[in-house]
Amino acid sequence: MVAIDIASVIENFGYQVVGPAGTAAAALSLLAKEGCDAAILDIRLGQETSRDVALELAHGGIPFVILSAYSAEEANFPSDAPMLAKPFQPQKLLAELQRCLLPE
């Protein structure tokens, strides 16, 4: 439910959303089929984490924002990405997403 809310917020800001994905396998499949310019990841996806997705994104040079109630350290998660805590604030999420998309 939260993922759908996040997707709606992102679409309202004018971005095209690919997903959401409820599992790491589904996210990796979407990434392979659709690609993306940036991603928003929750650390916990049910009983698993999105660590493999984060690693694949990092490997491909695709920026991402972590939006989670968990800390990156708890999940042994690559933590170079900006991190926001749930419950999310749409304006903060948009600001981080825009920073990800700005060329360096």
- Residue 57, pLDDT score: 94
pLDDT digits (tens, 9 = 90+) for 6-50: 889 889 988 999 989 999 999 999 999 999 999 999 888 888 989
- Look over the chain and give the mean of its residue pLDDT values, rounded to a whole number: 87
- Residue 29, pLDDT score: 97
- Residue 104, pLDDT score: 59
- Residue 17, pLDDT score: 93
What number is the average pLDDT over the span 54-82? 83
Distance CA 102, CA 88 (A): 21
Distance CA 22, CA 50 (A): 10
The domain locations on the chain are 2-97
For the chain, give the percent of residues with pLDDT over 90: 41
- Residue 68, pLDDT score: 84
Say yes or no to pLDDT of 103 above 80.
Answer: no
Q: Is the domain 2-97 a CATH 3.40.50.2300 member?
A: yes
